[in-house]
Every structure is written in structure tokens, then in C-alpha cells.
Homo-oligomer: A and B are copies of this chain.
Amino acid sequence: MDLQQALECVNLVPMFQSLPEDQKTEVAKLVVQHHYPKGTIIYLAGDKVGHFMILEAGQVKISQVAANGKEQLLKVLQPGDFDGEAALFNGDQRNMAATALVDSNVCQIEQDAFQKLLQKSPQLSVSLLATMSQQINSLQEEKTLSSTADMAGKLAKYLVETGAALDENPFKLPLKKKDIATYLGTTPETISRTFKQLTSKGLIEAKGSQVKIIDEDGLDMLV
């Protein structure tokens, strides 16, 4: 295993960046790299929890299937994003599934090793706590939003956030509309209609997967 390459992976994650050099190296030593071709299922709900996972390159979809069989897209990892921190302490069964959307490289750290590391490094623990507390807050916000806003509001928020994340305008949607639908908990038809609605209000311009935000304040008003 190439330690240099592992270090690069570790350095992608803000949580690790604040660690002193020697501790980063400690982490890097635990890293195992994997490649997953497009479409590969990385893990399924019910699998034994095994790894903390950093996405080095590619795109990975994290989703959950509800009791009624519907798939709920939780997030799409971009390079530098990570996953599995919540599962690490939580029983030994995964409750989500991960799929590689395109060819992807991931760096994995064994669960046990990672836990030992946390025991030894309070600094790392506190970093991880900070990260997780942010996640809790944003999840709570999303939950509130998803039960108060209508579809136009949710799509508006999604577009503004996506545009901001890509730091471009116009920008290309990173997801198929079908996937945006499952992400926002709705159907492709409704997404299609909502796009039309936002366009006719002059808030955005959309053509295919190209979207241009015209009136960001107007979009924010809908949330």
C-alpha cells in the first residue's frame, strides 16, 4: 500500500487536516484503497459494518429503502466526502446501501482500527464530534424543511445549494432528474412540473440538465 497515496486520501478530509503530521501518518497507515467500477454495490443494508470510507474519486450514492419498498436517496458522495462515521458506533448492521455511480476510488479504514485510533487521540475525537454535530443540525433542518415546505420550496433549496456547491452559474445538474426526485422524496413527474413552474416564474432558466439561477432571492422566498 502506497503510504503517500494514502496520505493524499487522508488529506481530502477536513476532519483529518487539523491533525498534526505524525497523527495523519498514523491514520494513513490504516488506509486501504479500493476501486469500484460503475454500478458496483459497495455495501447493502444488513451488511456487517466494517469500514470508514473516504471517496477519493468518482461518485457514490448512499440510499435507504423504506419499509414500503421506496428508495430514499440520502446523499451522493463527491470526492473528499466520507461516510460510515455514524455506522461505526451503531450495532453491527448497516442500515443504508452504497453504490458507485461512476468508476470510483475509495479509501477505507477498518472499523476496529479506527475506534482504537479515536481512543488514543482526543483531538481526532473532538474533530469527529464537531463534524457529527454539524450533521445532526443539518439533518434536523432538513427534516423540518421536508415537513413544512412544498415541492417548489424543496427544489428551490436544492438548486440554490447545488449551484453554490458547484460554484457556477449556469451549472449542470449532477444528478438525473429522476434521482433528484428520489432525493427530494417525490416523483420524476412532479420534478418536471416544478421545474416548469420555477421557469415560468422567471426564477430559473432550464434546458436539459443545464440550469441557470436567475433570481436567487426569489428562490429563497419559496423555502
Interface residues of A (CB under 8 A from B): 64, 66-68, 70, 72, 74, 85-90, 95-96, 115, 118-123, 125-126, 128-130, 132-137, 139-149, 184-186, 223
Contact = CB atoms under 8 A, between A and B. Distances in A.
Contacts of A223: 67-68
B134 A90 contact: yes
A70 to B, nearest CB: 5
6 contacts: A68-B149, A86-B137, A118-B122, A129-B132, A132-B132, A142-B143
Contacts of A68: 148-149, 223
Contacts of A133: 85-90, 132
A148 B72 contact: yes
Nearest to A136: B86
A143 to B, nearest CB: 5
Contacts of A136: 86, 132, 135-136, 139
Count copies of this chain in the complex: 2
Chain B CB within 10 A, most for which of A96, A128, A149: A128
Contacts of A121: 122
Contacts of A118: 122, 125-126, 129
Nearest to A148: B66
A185 B148 contact: yes
Chain B CB within 10 A, most for which of A121, A135, A140: A140
